[in-house]
Amino acid sequence: MTGQGRGETSGSAGSVVTEIRSVNNRGLKIILRTSDSVSEFEPKMESLVRQHLHRGSVTVQVRFTPPPGADLPRINADAVRSYAEQLAQVADSLAMGDAVTSTNIDLAHLMQMPGVLESPSAGGQNRSSSEQETAAKWSLIQDSVELALDRFKQMRSDEAIAMAESIEQDMTLIQTRCEEIAKRTPQVVARYQERLRERIEKALAENGLSAGDPVDLIREVQLFADRSDISEELTRLGSHLSLMRGVLVGESAETASSESGSRGEAVGRKLDFIIQELNRETNTIGSKAGDAEVAEHVVEIKCAIERMRELVQNLE
């Protein structure tokens, strides 16, 4: 199933924007696109998405923006002080004390010295504060991803309702065609009996023979009726359609409650299996009936089954 969702969150740790998009896929494929600053959370993100989604090729893009000033380098005051003191000592040892004092040391040059400017994540942070920042960042990411997932699932839910309506239309078509086939079946046997009688009478007349035992004709017609009997296949088709409707109705109720859980994971696969059985029974009917009108109904049923197959293979 296709769908998209967007979630935005912000706090003292920064702001996060999550965008989720999906295209049809029978399994679940997750593609994560994140910035380096949140790449450490990718396993948690994927686990979170897998808790909610079970089908589709899903792209999850997470953008993190730190709070203003948080990404600026920090000045290591101890390093600056150390460089200044060392310069003063060198000046004293070279009798340059009057030339180099604390007032004329060039701070711009000191800023270029190694170790003076530190990255935001370095220096001055103890383990506790670092863990707090990590926890706050993950909390923002989690809220953003879950918000995007909620909106994403709502869009997929709307699409699923439309898909279920389309499937219901095809099931109604199949049921109607099955009823027409059931009406046609007695006529198929009667037509076979009539054609067989005509062929026998013609053959006997051409060879100057008298009519044979009608019991033989009846026996042959009965054998044909047994071979072409499709009542069991029609009954199983009706049973499969009822089962399919039950699955769809049950899933609609689950969707309305907004918590599909593990049941939603199996719906598409269960419907896919039922459709395989529908197709199997339809093929048997087509091969056993041996009638042009029945064959026409079979073609329409198979077209409807194929349309449903394309939908349920992506349904979650």
pLDDT of residue 128: 60
The rounded mean pLDDT for the chain is 79
- Give the range with max mean pLDDT: 87-96, 181-190, 301-310: 301-310
Span 182-194, average pLDDT: 73
pLDDT for 81:
85
The answer, yes or no, to whether residue 14 has pLDDT greater than 50, is yes
Regarding beta strands 28-34 and 14-23, do their DSSP bridges make them parallel or antiparallel, or are they unpaired? unpaired
Q: Which of 65-79, 219-233, 245-259, 265-279 has the least mean pLDDT? A: 245-259
Q: How confident is the model at residue 228, as a pLDDT?
A: 66
| Structure confidence at residue 217 (pLDDT) | 58
Quick one: CA dihedral 246, 251, 256, 261, positive or negative? positive
Sign of the CA dihedral running 305, 306, 309, 310: negative
Higher per-residue confidence, 201 vs 144: 144
Pick the closest to residue 48 from 133, 136, 150 (CA basis). 150
* Nearest Cα to Cα of residue 301 among 245, 233, 252: 233
pLDDT at 281 over 90: yes
Look at residue 125 in the predicted model and tell me its pLDDT: 52
Does 258 have pLDDT greater than 50? no
Confidence of residue 198 (pLDDT cuts 50, 70, 90): low
Give per-residue pLDDT as tens, 129-176.
Answer: 678 888 989 999 999 999 999 999 888 888 878 888 899 999 999 999
pLDDT band of residue 202 (cuts 50, 70, 90) is low
Range with the largest mean pLDDT of 121-130, 178-187, 219-228, 274-283? 274-283
- Residue 267 pLDDT class (50, 70, 90 cuts): confident
Instruction: Over range 244-262, report the average pLDDT.
Output: 62
Quote the pLDDT of residue 293: 86
Confidence of residue 82 (pLDDT cuts 50, 70, 90): confident
DSSP conformation class of 26: S
> pLDDT grade, residue 17 (50/70/90)?
very high
Rounded Cα gap, residues 1 and 57, in angstroms: 9
Out of 18-32, 223-237, 249-263, the most confident range is 18-32
Is 211's pLDDT higher than 60?
no
* Domain architecture of the chain: domains with CATH: 3-70+138-151 (3.30.230), 159-315 (no CATH)
Nearest alpha-carbon partner for 54 in 153, 169, 178, 130: 153
Average pLDDT over residues 285-297: 84
Percentage of the residues of the chain whose pLDDT score is greater than 90: 31
Q: Supply the pLDDT for residue 69.
A: 61
Model confidence, pTM: 0.57
59's CB contacts (< 8 A; 6+ apart) are: 20, 21, 22, 31, 33
Q: What is the pLDDT of residue 159?
A: 80
